[in-house]
Amino acid sequence: MVFARGVTLPHGSRGTYHVITRCARRTFLFGDGREHRRGWLAASIADTISHFGIDLVTYSIMSNHLHLVVRLRPDRVDEW
């Protein structure tokens, strides 16, 4: 299901979501040093995920966009 940017989910919602983001003007994300930047981005995603009440199910880093499948974990938020 697609949500407008202004729509938020109710507190305590559960679900698994496919999240897509792409570079502005569809420019390429990596340029030179592709594998180095791909590794940096993967590490950055893992670090960011650790600060939120979500699980990263899987991800795919493409040349100018990335896909994330995330699962909301409101039970983790309650533990904070």
Asked if residue 54 belongs to a domain, the reply is yes
Token pair recorded at residue 65: 């966009």
pLDDT band at 75 (very low <50, low <70, confident <90, very high): confident
Q: Does residue 8 fall inside a structural domain?
A: no
22 within domain boundaries: yes
Give the residue-averaged pLDDT of 58-70: 90
Is residue 80 within 8 A of residue 39, CB to CB? The reply is: no
Q: Which of 24-28, 29-33, 39-43 has the highest mean pLDDT?
A: 39-43
Domain of 25, in residue numbers: 16-79
In a domain, 1, yes or no: no
- Entry pTM: 0.73
End-to-end Cα spacing for the chain: 29
Radius of gyration of the chain (CA): 15
Asked if residue 5 belongs to a domain, the reply is: no
Confidence of residue 32 (pLDDT cuts 50, 70, 90): low
| 30 occurs within a structural domain | yes
On whether residue 75 sits in a domain, the answer given is yes
Q: How many domains does the chain have?
A: 1
Q: With bands split at pLDDT 50, 70 and 90, how would you rate the model's confidence at 5?
A: low
